Amino acid sequence: MIDLHCHILPGVDDGPTSLYESLKLARFCVADGITVVTATPHCHSLIHLLRTDILPHVAAYNRELGAAGIPLTVLPGSEIQVYDSAVYRREFEEDVFCHLGNRRTHTLLEFSWDVDKFPSDSAGLIEWIRSRDMVPIVAHPERHHFFRERPMLLQRLVDAGAWIQITVDSLIGNFGPEAKAFGEQFLRTHHEAILASDAHNSKRCSGLSAGYSWVREHLGSDRSRDLLERAERVRMSLMSDQVSMPSLQAKAG
Ligand SMILES: [Fe+2]
């Protein structure tokens, strides 16, 4: 499996504070059946990590994984918060963002928890990103109170071409009954979805297998397979010309 939203890098944002904690999280991911993770440190107004910040951390971290004998591949990425569409567009065009896999295929977007910072032209921004042949993925809408209270806000983004990312911890109830209920509802109403962990450390991570099991139980095996296959297609597009994982680890070793 691939986890497309994970704060696995040590000491760069509010993820693991030490390499030890980060490697513990990596071992948990492997035990869960995850083989590839896109590291998605924050890129918001307070922690504004860009490609030049992220790539060296990812390279160093893959070397640590190889040295520790942990069979996990970490690809670069970031969770980019949209708090001002004009600022987003400018930085996008300056090509400073680290999109998923450091590719121009999929990008992980987050909106502020404060509805007053939800740009009124967000749907237009989604169309603008799609017109650049990229798929914007909206992180954990089920956890945002304004998407729960006004589902049309999310519907407009989806209609404009956004995918949604539902967090496993929401589905299994770790963010409360509302996030759980809306996680299920959004998975029912929005086809183009993926599951991810949004893990921040070994305590805030339930893996992915628990999420796919939950979906299989509540929404059926076809939906679970659909989510798994969509994530796999993303993985293939992010790794289309990369050498295999064992080769990467041999180099690291
Ligand atoms: Fe996140």
Amino acid at 211: G
Distance 197 CA to ligand 1 centre (A): 9
* Ligand 1 center to 108 CA (angstroms): 9
Q: Which residues pair with 108 in a beta bridge?
A: 79, 137
Q: Measured in angstroms, how far is the CA atom of residue 168 from the centroid of ligand 1?
A: 12
Span from the CA of 241 to the centroid of ligand 1 (angstroms): 27
Give the pLDDT of residue 44. 95
Separation between Cα atoms, residue 179 and residue 172, nearest integer Å: 9
As a residue count, the chain comes to 253
Distance 43 CA to ligand 1 centre (A): 10
Distance from the CA of 196 to the center of ligand 1, in angstroms? Answer: 10
What is d(CA 46, CA 191) in angstroms, rounded to the nearest whole number?
33
Q: How many angstroms does the Cα of residue 246 sit away from the middle of ligand 1?
A: 28
**pLDDT given for residue 250 in this prediction:** 38
Instruction: State the CATH architecture for 2-244.
Output: Alpha-Beta Barrel (3.20)
Pair 68, 23: CB distance under 8 Å: yes
Beta-ladder partners of 37: 3, 74
200 CA from centroid of ligand 1 (Å): 8
Degrees to nearest 5, angle at CA 35 with 24 and 222: 120
* Run of H or E including 2: strand 2-6
Rounded to whole angstroms, how far apart are CA atoms 229 and 240? 16
Q: How far does residue 222's CA lie from ligand 1's centre (Å)?
A: 27
CB atoms within 10 A of CB 59: 12
Q: How far is the CA of 198 from the centre of ligand 1 (A)?
A: 5
Q: How far apart are CA 166 and CA 176, in angstroms?
A: 14
- Annotated domain spans of the chain: 2-244
Per-residue model confidence (pLDDT) at position 229? 98
Residue 37 contacts residue 8 (beta carbons within 8 Å): yes
Residue 68 Cα to ligand 1 middle (Å): 25
Q: Supply the pLDDT for residue 202.
A: 83
Q: If you measure from the C-alpha of residue 82 to the centroid of ligand 1, how many angstroms do you get, rounded to a whole number?
A: 13
> What pLDDT shows up at residue 49?
96
- The encoded tokens of residue 234 equal 């993303």
Placement of tokens 């289309």 in the chain: 240
Task: Please name the helix (run of DSSP H) or strand (run of DSSP E) that holds residue 108, with its range, or none.
Answer: strand 106-111
Q: Which residues pair with 118 in a beta bridge?
A: none
Q: What is the dihedral of CA 34, 104, 11, 163, to 10 degrees?
A: -60
Q: Are 7 and 33 in contact (CB under 8 A)?
A: no
Strands 73-75 and 42-43: unpaired
Q: What's the rounded Cα separation, in Å, for the pair 104 and 195?
A: 20
Distance (angstroms) between ligand 1 centre and the Cα of 38 equals 11
Beta bridge partners of 166: 195
Residue-wise DSSP of 43-101: ESSSSB--HHHHHHHHHHHHHHHHHHT---EEE---EEEES-HHHHHHHHHTT----GG
Q: Cα–Cα distance between 238 and 47 in angstroms, integer?
A: 25
- 10-residue averages of pLDDT along the chain (253 residues): 98 96 97 98 95 98 98 98 96 98 97 95 98 97 97 97 98 97 97 97 90 98 98 96 48 36
Q: How far is the CA of 81 from the centre of ligand 1 (A)?
A: 10
The SS3 call for residue 195 is strand
Dist. CA 250 → ligand 1 center (Å): 30
| Predicted local distance difference test score (pLDDT) of residue 189 | 95
